[in-house]
Amino acid sequence: MSDCLFCKIAAGEIPSAKVYEDDAVLAFRDINHQAPTHILVIPKEHIADSAAQITPENSAAVARCFEAVARVAAQEGLSDGFRVITNSGAAAGQTVPHLHFHILAGCEMAEKLI
Ligand code: AMP
Ligand code: ZN
């Protein structure tokens, strides 16, 4: 999508602190990190605005994102554990409508929602 921030990052039109990239997925550091390690994993293609739009037709890209999550976790040495979050919709706090997964690690996550 032409007017999408993460599509522009995926296309290299807006710079990002890249952590991992393959043909389908890009992972980069969140500009406003909420934990010592805070990485966003996105499908390069704008397959969905959020998790609410995942379908049998586009879910292969979601699997690719989670393969990337495992790779990034290993690469970043997150052997103590990490959390993966996706916000879907404004009420959940989503601010960028391009499907993405937050990897959070490196601090105590005792105050758990789930
Ligand atoms: P969400 O609020 O779940 O939609 O997540 C969007 C995330 O994108 C937020 O955590 C922002 O800090 C992050 N973000 C926004 N712009 C950029 C950018 N240019 N580079 C890296 N992260 C960004
Ligand atoms: Zn997009």
Is residue 51 assigned to a domain? yes
Is residue 66 assigned to a domain? yes
Residues whose beta carbon lies within 6 Å of some atom of ligand 1: 5, 14, 16, 28, 30-32, 40, 87, 93-96
Is residue 112 assigned to a domain? no
| Boundaries of domain holding 82 | 5-105
Is residue 95 assigned to a domain? yes
3-state secondary structure 11-43: CCCCCCCEEEECCCEEEEECCCCCCCEEEEEEE
Domain total in the chain: 1
Quote the pTM value: 0.96
> Distance from the CA of 45 to the center of ligand 1, in angstroms?
17
CATH number at residue 29: 3.30.428.10
Tokens matching residue 84: 């993966």
Is residue 13 assigned to a domain? yes
Is residue 43 assigned to a domain? yes
How many C-alpha atoms does 25 have within 13 Å on its Cβ side?
Answer: 21
Per the CB < 8 A criterion, the answer to whether 53 and 43 are in contact is no
Mark whether 100 is an active-site residue. Answer: yes
How does pLDDT run across 67-82, given as a tens digit for each residue? 999 999 999 999 999 9
Is residue 44 assigned to a domain? yes
Per-residue pLDDT of the chain (114 residues; tens, 9 = 90+): 789 999 999 999 999 999 999 999 999 999 999 999 999 999 999 999 999 999 999 999 999 999 999 999 999 999 999 999 999 999 999 999 999 999 999 998 866 666
Q: Give CA angle at 54 (51, 59), nearest 5°.
A: 120
Is residue 114 assigned to a domain? no
d(CA 73, CA 29): 13
User: Of 33, 46, 100, 102, which one is the catalytic site residue?
Assistant: 100
Tokens matching residue 68: 């990337």
